[in-house]
Amino acid sequence: MNPLPGDRLEYFGTDGIRGKVGELPMTPGFCLDLGWAAGKFVAEHSGSLAIIGKDTRISGYLIESVLEAGMVSAGINVGLLGPQPTPAVAHLMGELHADLGLVISASHNPYTDNGIKFFLRNGSKLAKSDEARIERWLREPIEIVEPGRIGKAQRIDDAQDRYVEFCKSTMNQGVSLAGLSVVVDCAHGAGYRVAPRVFEELGATVHTLANEPDGLNINVRCGSTDTRALRASVASHAADVGIALDGDADRALMVDREGDCYDGDDILFVIAASRLRQGRLSGGVVGTTMSNSGLERALGELDIPFVRSDVGDRNVSQLVAEKGWHLGGETSGHVLCRDHVGTGDGIVASLQVVGEMASSKKTLRELTARFVKVPQVLLNIPVANPRDSLGNGSVQNAIKELERVLDAEGRVLVRQSGTESMVRVMVEHHDAHAAESHATRLANTIDEARAGVS
């Protein structure tokens, strides 16, 4: 394995390790080494069991097998969960008394990508120091434990049932979804079995989309990255609500019968307002720098505290924990109900909203009526090296000039994607046309800098 300079993180990004299958770090050799390094991490913390879940990508079979081999060679037992939502693995950590949880998934990315996410026993993501420790083990050659100490691997056959029961338990006692019609778009991903079951077993009439994964169709024209089929299905079934999961079901968007789409900001608002109404709100809400300014204003009108973290569900989770609060999330649909599970959970979050619809007898539009969004434009610019693009002088000058122009009338945020080779541009302004114009002009500057245009 190539040496790593100091403790700089070479492979871990904002959410584990991710890349194109067949290229570093998503190669069999690297993943074997990573499994061994993760096993050594578990062993040095006196642990003995790791569990592995995955989404439905065809490459998951390959990566699962070599991770398993690496971990058992370090003397760690492995529980194989099969296809499971990312938050299911986080939840099952405690039930199975596991010391480390691994999820093989690239979330909303296409099937050509894959990745590995890590969880500790409390369901939280690894700290940077933990990731650095694993990367230090990656520098060492694999040393297999003596034959009598090699770990064992077994399938956990009831993992799905355990998670379904957990999701159902997050509903308020006495609330039934009977009479509600729900469309669930599973993105041909990890939630394709459990998500429909949860809503059906709570009484809803469920119509299911994109629940026939073939290893290649994950996130293809479906799920949270493309809600067109969901909107059409909600309309054709005259359903009350539609839910769009992503590939590993850790985030969700929602659609109403009028075809309007509701993002993570909307979901956070509904859950927070619902808990306030029921006297169950603990503290306030954590959003991110991307959260719409209207969310902060709407929560403020309800006297609900709101703070922002950096983008990334780990950053949200850390700040929620530091505050001692329960709710946090991202506009993209990662919503954390920390009193239930330590990471974003698309099924649990959407279930809280549908439960509020059932108990209040209100539609999504009615539940979000007090949340008026500031026009916001988000553009993604593909670049070979996002860091170089952001460091370009003309780009930096353009950002500063736009900040000066917007002043108190809007916001601009330009950042590197943590999961894809892109620069993301967000502009907020009370005038939608102005927001679009400013964002487009800034995106063009970034594109020109990428192409070497002066």
CA distance 117 to 122: 15
Tell me how far CA of residue 38 lies from CA of 131, 133, 307, 314, in angstroms. Answer: 9, 9, 34, 19
CA atoms within 13 A on the CB side of 176: 4
Peptide bond connecting 147 to the previous residue in cis, omega within 30 degrees of 0:
no
Tell me how far CA of residue 245 lies from CA of 8, 14, 36, 266, 416, in angstroms. Answer: 34, 20, 32, 15, 24
Tell me how far CA of residue 2 lies from CA of 86, 153, 385, in angstroms. Answer: 30, 29, 21
Instruction: Give yes or no: 293 in active site.
Output: no
Identity of residue 330: E
CA distance 90 to 448: 42
What kind and span of H or E run contains 52?
A: strand 49-54
Residue in the structure block whose two tokens are 């900040």: 403
Q: Around Cβ 102, how many Cβ atoms within 10 Å? A: 27
Residue in the structure block whose two tokens are 């009484």: 203
Tokens describing residue 133: 């420790």
CA distance 390 to 423: 8
Annotated catalytic residue, options 107, 124, 233, 332: 107
SS3 of residue 374 by DSSP: coil
Can you state the angle between helices 86-95 and 346-360, rounded to 10 degrees? 90
Q: Around Cβ 155, how many Cβ atoms within 10 Å? A: 10
Tokens describing residue 227: 């809600």
Given CA atoms 7, 12, 15, 16 in this order, what sign does their dihedral have?
negative
Catalytic residues: 107
